[in-house]
Structure 1
């Protein structure tokens, strides 16, 4: 095989994993769709004013739990407030490292989702794709070390789950 100086046979490719089916309880999967041995679940949710900004009215307060995660695995999933048709009203990524619950339930954490119309919220769903290892290295940014399969893009307001 003949190689010319300055030429490379390295072909960098970027792919995006397919978004998994959202649910109240999901098996967290890697970018290849393989289970990580971690289950993420929405424990409960409510509409109430955020204690730091009560003047902004009701927001979505929810508790989540990661079973099977340890201090080194640190998976993260997208959590979305949805309406009756499972259309996203607001989303954010939650990580197992945010689970700082009471001593009798240390795998549970809680956070807030800001939504424009909280009265439309019918539930909170989790998307099973692990978001913790997206280093952001793409072929465009770094053709030598970038590339590979990346987690799906986070859902946008109005996406159907």
Structure 2
């Protein structure tokens, strides 16, 4: 038999557990990290803005028809490099073709895990960006925010979601 004072405290304990429980939406908050400064070479950063020890760089680009769809005209063919990234679970950054005012003409996310290893340990790859007016492209820039991991939101999972998320993927019209 339980002592009376233990039984008397049970309702209070249940109230405390209910109010502090993970199912309470009061404890789940979503925030979005600020977008980092885009550049040709960037230090990849986590959602708190801390460097991950990985550098991403656009090592070259040119306008040319994609070999699988040459009838679609010129696309932006760019080459990139990740230094310090893990081959299987490394970071990802947004790459954007920009005009001379640094306005994005087309963007996509490039993953270090999709690149191939070089003898020096770097991971290198290439990709294509489709833009409406390829003649306006003045360069390709990378945005340093790691896009490889985006935890679940409160709306998706009130129990395990929440926290700081990377900025939304970059898109056309964004001023970089």
Common topology (TM > 0.5): yes
What stretches of structure 1 of length at least 5 have no aligned partner? none
SS of the aligned residue for 2:78 comes to strand
Kindly indicate whether residue 175 of structure 2 is the aligned counterpart of residue 160 of structure 1. Answer: yes
SS of the aligned residue for 1:7 comes to helix
> Could you say which residue in structure 1 is the equivalent of 2:3?
none
What are the superposed Cα offsets for residues 123-144 of structure 1, whole Å, 9 maximum, x if unpaired? 0000000000114x10111111
What stretches of structure 2 of length at least 5 have no aligned partner? 1-11
Kindly indicate whether the alpha-carbon contact (under 8 Å) linking 1:99 and 1:106 is maintained by their aligned counterparts in 2.
Answer: no
Residue pairs, 1:1-161, within 5 angstroms: 3-4=14-15, 7-9=18-20, 10=22, 11-100=27-116, 107-135=123-151, 137-161=152-176
Q: Which has a greater percent of helix?
A: 2
Counterpart CA distance in 1 for 2:16 and 2:121 is 60
What are the superposed Cα offsets for residues 6-30 of structure 1, whole Å, 9 maximum, x if unpaired? 8332400100000000000000000
Counterpart CA distance in 2 for 1:61 and 1:123 is 11
Question: Please, what TM-score do these two structures have when normalized by structure 1?
Answer: 0.92
Question: Please, what TM-score do these two structures have when normalized by structure 2?
Answer: 0.84
SS of the aligned residue for 2:108 comes to strand
Counterpart CA distance in 2 for 1:106 and 1:30 is 20
Q: Which has the larger radius of gyration?
A: 2
Kindly indicate whether the alpha-carbon contact (under 8 Å) linking 2:43 and 2:52 is maintained by their aligned counterparts in 1.
Answer: yes
What are the superposed Cα offsets for residues 99-150 of structure 1, whole Å, 9 maximum, x if unpaired? 1266678621001001111010000000000000114x10111111000000
Counterpart CA distance in 2 for 1:71 and 1:15 is 29
SS of the aligned residue for 2:113 comes to helix
Residues paired across the two proteins, number: 160
